[in-house]
Structure 1
Amino acid sequence: MKFKWFKSLVVTAAILGFGMTVSESSVHAEEVSFYTSNPVIIKVKMPTYTYQDIELTKKIALQKKDTFLHVKRLVKTETGKPRLQLTNGKYVTANKLKVVKTKGYQNPKRYYQVQYKQIQPTGKVGYNLSRGYEGVKTWKVMRKLGIIGTHGYAKYNNKTWYAVRSFQAKHKLPVTGDVDLRTWQKLGFSESSWYSIDSYIAPLKAHAWDGRSAHIEAMIKQAYQYMGNPYIVGASSSPKYGLDCSGLVTQALYAAGINPVPVSSIQHAHPGNEWNSRKLFASKNFKHVPYSQRQRGDLIFYYQPGTHTIWHVAIYLGNNKVIESWPPRVMIQPIKNSHRNVIAGVARPFL
C-alpha cells in the first residue's frame, strides 16, 4: 500500500510540472492561459463583462459572444495578474478561454472581403467624355450646354456631341465633339473637379475591431449623406452630387470596406455599364438569402415589371423600408410601391 501511495505521488508530481511544486505548476498554467502581450484585437468566446477597474470588480457591460474589442495595452494588477485595457479605457480579462486574438471582423473567404485600408479608385481618374458616357461630368456638361435640366437624363447623346463641337469651334478648340480637360475648363469648370469627381471613394467608416452591425451602419450612414440629391444616371461620386441606384450602393459599400469589383464608381459612368445593378445581382461574392429572411443592410433587387430583367437595387433599412436613388432623387420608400414592386432577390454584403 505504501508503494502504491508513493508511486501515485510521483505520477501526480510529474503531471503537475515534472518536478515543480503544485504552486509553481499553477503559475505556469496561468501564464499559458492568459495573454502576456497585447493581442490588439480580441473576439469574445463566451459572454464576458468589461469592467471599470483593473481588479475586475466593477462591472460595466456584458459583451456577447463574438463581440470584437480593441485593446490598447496589456497591464498587470499589483499582484501581477494580466488584464487587457481597451481603447475606451475599460478593462477585460486576459484569459484565453474567454477572449481570443483575431485579425478582426471578416466575411467568409468565398464572399467579398472586408478591407481596412482606404479603397482606391478603379479606373482612370480624369477620363474624357464622349458619346455613350453618363455620370456627374456628363451631367454637368449637358446642363452647361442647356441640353438637360436639373433632373434630366444625363447620357452623352448625339445632341450633346454636336453641341460640344459647336462650343469647341466657337472657342477655337480642337473640334472633336469629345470633352477633354481643355474643353472642360473652357466650359467654366475647374481642373481639380475634373479629377476629384472621378477619384471620390467614400472614406472607411468601420474598423477591424467593429462587428457586423457596425459595418452595416457604416454603409447606411454613407447612403444617408445623399438624401435628397438628384437622381443622375451613371453617377457614383461624392455627396456633393446626385447618383443612381447602383452608384448609391457602390459608395455605401466602399464606406463599409467592400470593393464590389468589377463594378466601380469610375467604370459606372462608362459606356456599357448602364445596368450595374445587374452585375451586382449576378455577383457570386454576395450571399443571396430568401426574401423572407431579409435584414437591415441587405441589398434588395427588383425585376422590371413583365420581365426577368434586373433594373433596380436599394438598401434595406428594416421595417419594410429602403433607401434608394430613384427618379427624381435619393429617398426612403416602402420596400414595394407602385413604381417597382417585383422583388428579384436579396443579397447580403456582410455575414
Structure 2
Amino acid sequence: MKQRKLHYFKRILLVAAAFIGMIAINSESLTQADSSYYTTNPGIIKTKQRVVYYQDATRKVKDKTVPANHYAKITKVVVSAGQVPVLKTTTGRYLTASKAFVTKTAGYQNPKRYYQVQYQQIKPHGQVGYTVKRNFEGIKTWYIMRKMGTFAGYDKYNQATYNAVKRFQRRHHLKATGNVDEQTWVKMGFSKKAWTAIDSYVAPLGATASQGRSAHIEAMIHQAYRYLGNPYLVGSSSSPKYGTDCSGLVIQALYAGGINPLPVSAIHHAYPGNEWNSRNLWASKKFKHVAYSQRQRGDLVFYYQPGTHTIWHVAIYLGRNRVIESWPPKIMVQPIRNSQRSNVAGIARPFV
C-alpha cells in the first residue's frame, strides 16, 4: 500500500515537472532547447518572426509587437542577474537577444539580382561642369536660353540659342564657338559656383541600413515631394529649387532611397540621347516588374504613348490610385490615370 502511494506521488511530481518544462519551453526566451543569445553587440538585427518590444530590460512592460523582417540598430547587450540577455535599441526599447528570434545583418538590402541599396552618398556617372552645346537640355540650358532671349517654354539648346551665344561671345571678345563653357557662363553673369553645383547635386540619403523597406520608400517619396509645384523642365534632374522632367524627378527620388540606377545618371540626363531616360529605366532588368494589380506605394508607374506604344512617361505611385509626377506644366500629384496619360505599360518595384 505504501509502495503504491509512493509510486502515485512520483507520477504526480513527474507530470508537474513536465508541465513546468512546457511553460519554460513555450516562453520567448526558451523557444528552442538549444537556444543561444547574442552576448556581444550584433550592430543591426532583423527579426525572424514576430517579436515584442519592451520599455524595460526586465521585459515587464510591453511597448509594441513588430513583425518578421523588421530592422533595428542595437546599442548594447544587457545582461541582468537572473535574466536572459536582451538587446537595447537606439530608440531605448528592448527586445530578446535570442538567435531564434533575431539575426545579425548588414542591414536592409534588395536581392542581388536587383539594384543594390547604397549607404554611402551616391555619385552619379558623368563630368561635373560640362560644356553646354546644341541639343543639350537641363537647368544650365534653361538659364542660358532665358539670358539669350530664346527660351519659349522648352529648354533644349537649339540653333537660335547657338547663334545668339556666338554673337554674345564676339561682343565680349571670347572665342565664338556657340557653346557655353565656364568662361562664357561667368561672362553671362552667372556664378562660377553654380556652373558645377547644378551638375553635382545629388539627393541626400534618406534612410539608413538599420531601417527597413518602408523607410526607404518614404525617403524616395519625401524627396519627390520637395519638387512639388516646380516647373516641368526637360533634361533636368538637379536641386529641389529647380524643376525636373518625369525621369529626372524619379532619378533624384531613387538617390534619396539609396538606389543608383546606372547607366541612367542625373548628370548625363541633360545630354543629347538622354531625353527619354524613362525608357532606359523601364528597360532595366534590375527593377522587379510586378502586375498592375499588385502595385504598392513606392512603385514606379510607366506609361506608353498612344499609337506608338513606346514608353514616354514615368511616375511614382503613392497609393490610393495617385502618383507624384513631373508632367507639363509642373511637378504635381495626380490620379494614376487621367485625360493626359492613361496607358500604363507596367509597374517596376525599386525596393523589393
| Same fold flag (TM > 0.5) | yes
Q: Which residue of 1 aligns with 2:17?
A: none
- 8 A Cα contact 1:121 1:200, kept in partner: no
Q: What is the DSSP-based 3-state SS (H/G/I as helix, E as strand, rest coil) of the residue aligned with 2:68? A: coil
Q: Which residue of 2 aligns with 1:77?
A: 80
Alignment of 1:250-265 (within 5 A): 250-265=251-266
Q: Which residue of 2 aligns with 1:8?
A: none
1:171, distance to aligned residue in structure 2 (A): 1.0
Q: Which residue of 2 aligns with 1:226?
A: 227
- 8 A Cα contact 2:124 2:260, kept in partner: no
Structure 1 residue ranges (4+ consecutive) displaced by more than 2 angstroms after TM superposition = 29-32, 78-81
Q: Does 2:59 correspond to 1:56?
A: yes
Q: Which residue of 1 aligns with 2:343?
A: 342
Alignment of 1:95-244 (within 5 A): 95-149=98-152, 152-244=153-245
1:181, distance to aligned residue in structure 2 (A): 0.4
**Structure 2 unpaired stretches of 5+:** 1-29
Q: Which residue of 1 aligns with 2:299?
A: 298
Q: Which residue of 1 aligns with 2:309?
A: 308
1:74, distance to aligned residue in structure 2 (A): 1.3
Give distance in 2, aligned partners of 1:121 and 1:347: 21
Q: What is the DSSP-based 3-state SS (H/G/I as helix, E as strand, rest coil) of the residue aligned with 2:146? A: helix
After superposition, give the CA deviation of every residue in 1:90-143 in whole Å (9 maximum; x if it has no partner).
111111111111111111100000011110131101000000100011011101
Alignment of 1:38-57 (within 5 A): 38-57=41-60
After superposition, give the CA deviation of every residue in 1:37-78 in whole Å (9 maximum; x if it has no partner).
000111111111111111111100101111111101112113
**Structure 1 unpaired stretches of 5+:** 1-26
Work out the number of aligned pairs and report it: 322
Q: Which residue of 2 aligns with 1:6?
A: none
Q: Does 2:61 correspond to 1:65?
A: no
Sequence identity, in percent? 62
Q: Which residue of 2 aligns with 1:94?
A: 97
1:332, distance to aligned residue in structure 2 (A): 0.5
User: Match for 1:61: what amino acid?
Assistant: K
User: Match for 1:339: what amino acid?
Assistant: Q
1:307, distance to aligned residue in structure 2 (A): 1.5
**TM-score normalised by the chain length of structure 1:** 0.90
Q: Which residue of 2 aligns with 1:21?
A: none
**TM-score normalised by the chain length of structure 2:** 0.89
Q: Which residue of 1 aligns with 2:18?
A: none
User: Match for 1:129: what amino acid?
Assistant: V
Give distance in 1, aligned partners of 2:80 and 2:34: 14
Q: What is the DSSP-based 3-state SS (H/G/I as helix, E as strand, rest coil) of the residue aligned with 2:163? A: helix
Give distance in 2, aligned partners of 1:55 and 1:106: 32
Give distance in 2, aligned partners of 1:188 and 1:50: 59
- 8 A Cα contact 1:235 1:243, kept in partner: yes
1:80, distance to aligned residue in structure 2 (A): 6.0
User: Match for 1:57: what amino acid?
Assistant: K
After superposition, give the CA deviation of every residue in 1:269-300 in whole Å (9 maximum; x if it has no partner).
00111100000000000011111111111101
